[in-house]
Amino acid sequence: MFEIFLSKYKANGLCGEKTTPYKPTVQAFGLEEFFGAFSGGSFNNGLYRVHSVESIDFWNGIVGEAFPKFADRIYCFGYDWLGRQFALDTDRLSAKEPLVLMLEPGTGEVLEIPVNFLQFHEEEIVNYANEALALDFFNSWLSSGHEPPSHNQCISYKKPLYLGGSDTLDNLEPMDLEVYWGLTSQLLAKVRGLPPGTPINNISID
């Protein structure tokens, strides 16, 4: 299982870090086997990372706070170099399998990906790595002389796109992943519900 994924994604961080017996709280084909092999793993220089089994509940809480509409329906399993979280959505099912969400701190948006857990790893990020993981942007970041993010880091937007920031390399910087999501949660709480086009000025973070 996951042979196609492994043909394209090479681990460069510890995998299989689980320290206690683990039974997923969400039913998805291949989920238990995946975490048994890849818990805490980092792939392709940090392009795609997998949460450790011990941190899943923690990240469900952090991401749910930033996107409260999805708080009771997400199961976060991985994240990319931009800090975008991938989660199973228990409110969207196909053949009794939960489908994937991408929750984006840089844009403040949640995107529905119409694939299940196995399809996400064996098809989506294999065949559509640029669309799913911003591969070209990542390669531009590295080729410009920047380091890949560590497991606890992401490459964040200095000014989020929903506040008028540009989707360019000069608007990126490394940041602790948890700090980035904490800031995102506060910012999104302040702008949520504002009409489109509302000028955003002088937002402060507590």
CB atoms < 10 A from the CB of 111, how many?
Answer: 13
pLDDT in tens, 104-158: 999 999 999 999 999 999 999 999 999 999 999 999 999 999 999 988 999 999 9
pLDDT in tens, 164-197: 999 999 999 999 999 999 999 999 998 876 555 5
pLDDT category of residue 19 using cuts at 50, 70 and 90: low
Would you say 67 and 188 are in contact if contact means Cβ atoms under 8 Å apart? yes
3-class DSSP assignment, residue 156: strand
Instruction: Tell me what the pLDDT averaged over the chain comes to.
Output: 91
Label the pairing between strands 153-157 and 172-176.
antiparallel
Rounded Cα gap, residues 180 and 160, in angstroms = 11
Rounded Cα gap, residues 41 and 138, in angstroms = 18
Rounded Cα gap, residues 64 and 185, in angstroms = 9
pLDDT category of residue 204 using cuts at 50, 70 and 90: very low
Domains identified in the chain and CATH numbers: 3-190 (3.40.1580)
